[in-house]
Structure 1
Amino acid sequence: DILFRNPDVKYDVLCSDIEDFKLINDTFGMAAGDRLLRQVAELCTQRLGDHGICGRLSADQFACLLEHREDYADEMFTQSDSRINSGFGDQNVIMKYGIYTVEDREVSVEQMCDRALLAAHSIKGKYGKHFALYDDKLRGTLLRRQAITDGMETALAKGQFEVYLQPKYQIRDGRLAGAEALVRWNHPEWGLQPPGEFIPLFERNGFITKLDQYVWERVCALLQEWDRKGYPSINISVNVSRLDIYNTDLADVLTSLVRRYGLSPDRLHLEITESAYTDTSRQLIETLGTLRRLGFVIEMDDFGSGYSSLNMLAEMPIDVLKLDMKFIQTEITRPTGQGILRFIVDLARWMKLRVVAEGVETREQLERLQNDGCDYAQGYYFAKPMPVESFVSVLTVQDPPADMENSRSDDSADRIDRALLVVDEDEEYRAQVHRSFSDCFKVLEAASYEEAVKILGSHPYQMSAVILSLTLQGGADILTAIQKERGAWVTPCVATGPLDMELERSAMELGADDYAAKPHSQESLRRRVLRVMSFHTLQERIRSQQDEACRDSMTGLLNRQGLYTIAESLRHASFSAVYLFELDDLKKFNEKYGYVEGDHLIFHFASLLRAHTRMDDVLVRLGGDEFLVVMCHMSSMEDVNKKKTAILRAYHESRYAEPDLVACFAGTAFWNAEEPLDEIIRRAREVMYAAKAGGKDECLIRKG
């Protein structure tokens, strides 16, 4: 109406989108998400005033109509983001904005908003980009998407979607072990289209469910045909999308399909992407459990792509772990025995999961994967995805395929490079541990402090874990040595001893990851070791994924964005304590002595934090003068306060001689998995302000 009442006025449609809004809802609750939406709406109304109108399009998308301007700049939008973040507990909310200049007023308002949103989506995930303008390039993208949507039903009816197969090979002997079904669109005008051209769009518009069922049936028909011709029997992996999981009849559909073609369910491997876990975790677990009980083999695809924590491995009813191509290529660059590939393979093997590496392109990568214990591989080193006819040639000329259901790599060679050390004075206990863990590790034994130190100092491979008796003479010293060298070893450690609260507390203070009170079953010990290995692997994964956008450039600590990137993962750790530190009157210090001196003070402060915290603790520079530490496995408030006092005392003792002082105040709070991180930071800040008002828990850092 406004457009037609003002034909001489040029207008823009501006649409905004909140990045990872679902994650905010999942992490902080629906109430927090609703509060954020209200703040965005209020900001839009305030900024527009009488110069335009605004409204909410959908869940986290807003649209504004305003008079056209030529001088859009990032500063306009960063100011808005700052106001939103300050009103949302300083959460790192990222907004993306798209702008469409109204040229044709006959275009529907819905299309105008679609074009503005297309511009906003074009910069999603691009750090430092806040807005984008709709242009001819984006218009071409929109037209292409519309053409794909218009042609998808016809393409399915006319058989334009073709199944391609990529072989999977057993790493140990190079035998064919199966295939993955992929899809290509053989378009009559555009030619052969790769899945990246249409699959993301189909996932958004829901057509993916029809395409998936088409592929499932085509694969079952192929397997039946090959069985009838006497070809070697293999399995084929097919994709199950997130939308398929919502179908309550999924198990019936798949069961009916394999029965119709006379196939055993285990011939059809069902690939679930790691990202599906974060979207539909409870329903996903229930659905996969049902399918697995029916005999289907469940594969988790794209593991390592960054969506979820390793806790999913303990929850998901899966049989096969497929490692993401980019993850593999990153890990291969790390020295053997370092990085987290070995850890993940160890965990998978322990949980009786088969491991498939995707995206293998070189002989060097293959050899490394073999050394690290992977079972199967696929990638261009072996073969590209190929038409069915070409795959038949591979299938019929190879040696009999490996049985992926029952075949495993020979553990005896792999165990040589994966060691677990048990340090205990009880020979029978060491023997029990040896029997319990020898299926996964080369178990090394030490009965004394001297033997343990010798193994830790000279053993050529990195320890996967250490089980350490604290009643052993010198046991505490061994734990201290492990903690001291964690920068190099990164070795998970489970301490053992009698049921003694003081001894358990001492173990945690010395850096143990868990404490197993004796007597205990070997099964419970296995679970404890698995949990601490999972946590360490998670920490390594967090560190490996942190890029410059998540780091404070001056101190190297995480910044606010980095903290919220890993916040959900931290919620799974037990007994976490949050420490908040503030350097008081830093601004006055900078004004008096200059920013170079102020930067030196900040860097010195960060260095002291590093020196007095553990390898797995999370250190964050929240802002100019605020620092945050998250410490896991802190079992009591007494321990928390003791650590805070020790840190403050260390700061106080490091002060310089000149009389100009910068005070440091601290606040602490416990964090359990039920509360959002922002709430914990708020409570810690209240404690800090109370200390500040009373002049308590203060340390003084002199000008450096």
Structure 2
Amino acid sequence: MFSQKMILVVEDNSLNRTLLCQILASDYNVLEAENGQEALSLLKQYGEGISLILLDIIMPVMDGYTFLSIVKADPAYSSIPVIVTTQNDGESDEVAALSHGAADFVAKPYRPQIILHRVANIINLRETAAMINLIQYDRLTGLYSKEFFYQQVRKILLRNPDKKYDILCSDIENFKLINDVFGIPTGDRLLCGIAQLYQQEVKGKGICGRINSDQFVCLIERRWDYSNTYFINVVARVNELLDVQNIVMKWGIYSIQDHSLPVEQACDRALLAARSIKGQYGKYFAKYDDTLRNRLLKDQAITDSMESALDKNQFHIYLQPKYRIQDESLVGAEALVRWIHPEWGFQSPAEFIPLFEKNGFITKLDQFVWDRACAVLRDWDNKGLPPISVSVNVSRADIYNADLADILMKITRKYNLPPSRLHLEITESAYTENPRQIIDTVGRLRDLGFVIEMDDFGSGYSSLNMLNELPIDILKLDMKFIQNETAKPNSQGILQFIIDLARWMHLSVVAEGVETKEQLARLEEIGCDYVQGYYFAKPMPHKEFEALLAEQGASEPDEKKGGALRFLKELPAVLIADEDAAYRKEVVRAFQGRYRVKCVENCQQALAYIEDHPKLAAAVLSLTLSEPDGFSVLERVQRDKNLWNLPIIATAPADAELERKALELGADDYICKPHFPQSLLKRIQRAHNTVVNKERTRFFQDAAYKDYLTGVFNRRGLEAALDSLNKNDLPLAVYLFDLDNLKWCNDTFGHAEGDRILTWFGTVLREHTQEKDVISRIGGDEFVTIIRKMPSEELAQRKGQEICTTVQEISSRRGVEISCSAGVAIMQVGDTISQVLNRADKALYQAKNQKKGSCRLWKEETI
């Protein structure tokens, strides 16, 4: 059982002090002091073991303001939060307390539930701040975490513009083999030993961090005598750490020339140098060289030119015609971007688009294309040409832009076009990255009248369940999928299935990349709606397309019904549920310019409005409403977790019992009638801030307990999850999964691809387990999964093999040969989790030795 937190009450009035102690005693250990001097003595005795101080201002010997000044000036105590107790709720007292460093204030006379709420919130915020400190360091080695290392390097370079620095990155060759052969604990000891060596080498000369499973990095002051001998000696020391021998490490060195270069790029350059000598005997380090430099210089030249190229109209839109199969009539186009540079000439989109997606310029370029596409549509309408639609690409970066809907609506209004004339193409793979956020964003665009196309369907991986949720109007089949499928008669049923699925979902289908008459005939046979491809026409400048449109005429496509919706940024909304019409009118007048106020006069209206508007800034609820009373609304909100973040201010005549009941049922505050509207406004602002703090707390808790890349638990999260397991969950199936060749993938395709695979594998594990099961990433490519109430060993092994097979099948379809192996052990009454994890580790070792990509069940007789 955890010990109670300690609170120091500083109050000269013995009656008030006793009352505060009684309020807090049930939840906290309470220390008492009569004045500031006595409180300082207790602080010296208990230090930061004190979680919070409740402080009166007017006291003999040493008053509250003096005490606050001393405490906040002392680093040993400055982080302890202080709540000031005041004689009234006056603004001057509040400002004075906060200016002296108080975290909050409460007015006398004391209200027990208010005191307890405030104390709990402030302590929680302090613990969250401490949690942030944990995130800054790698839990295994104690070195800086990757993100915090980058942050510290930026500060050092900014403070020392004239100093010369080098970035050194190291990589252990075949580190996974050490984990596989000797076990993860041995691998962890090796990593900790290397971390200590780094700290010894850079002490006083730089800083170091861990940026990946077995990759370490340091920033050190420039030295000129790097030699193989130095690194050979370091490797020899590494080999002395364990009984393991023949550990090989490679170092990459990047000498920082430009302090404004992003730290991430500097580290990437050092890693590129290290990878350039992997597998080369006798070479232990390499500096970032001209070959690597030239590759990046080309990227940099493109980056440097992109803004001016946009300003100088070097980017042009090309339009690829889209035809209806039924009558081969021209019905639309896809807008594509082309770059014609005055010196470099025609630039392939394959060269600059991926770079723009990485550096974020793609959002500006996309907006340029959207604007030009709408401009040519308006021009054609003015010339009397048929009103076709144009499809434009919406990149992943655009999706995460909170102003996306505003930007698109502004463009369509600029050219007086209905949104349905602009089709928005979003790739299938984008939907799988963060499906809920993208579904919400795209759904909003669709509600505004835009037509949504899922681009490259068939190139990624979508579950049928997710496809059913997606807010789309058109499926656009991937070009390679069309070419491959129509070339294989034995697999043509797949294409027919997709067309039938689209019909069932009331979606139109566009096939791109149609190059032959045979492909067109096949698509017509199975009922595809539209096509585009070289069989009809290549992408062309918009003037050529205009001539084609004028010459051939066009059939007006079926447009999505519904016009543009007016989208306004509005003030936050507050609900006033009160039976008194005069009260409601007074609040509306007082809140004008600060909130939009919705007034209702009974509980049924209040509940209906809350359910339709769960994002209210606050609800002010009269507890004396009739048929039924206000408590029914509180109970309903408590039952719906979607409404838990809605701040509710309860109002009623002064009544201690009503106040107690309201706070117990989840009200965030209680205000007695009659009261000033300004007082109510202050309560609403305070309640809103509390909700924000709660959300921030949850954010940092997620950051501390979850793996930032995959979203599953990290090691700290796994330990916390294990504490929640009990005998009712037994038997447990404990799996240890390992991605067999991720390191090869990182070295071959880069860490971005490796990170994508790790994220995807986390999704696979979630899809094959239940919500209450435990999933954790415990190493670079090692995952622990614990499934509760596993009926039998046979089913446990079958489940593990199912996951391994799914990984292999999907990765093969994606063209990346990734497999995973698994070991599983069953935990029964009397077993410890460490014992079972060790058994699963042995089973995993057997699986990898016998057949990679398989799942092995631990059995005592086979070990």
TM, length-normalised to structure 2: 0.41
Q: Which structure's CA Rg is the greater one? A: 2
Q: Which has the higher contact order (CA 8 A, sep 6+)?
A: 1
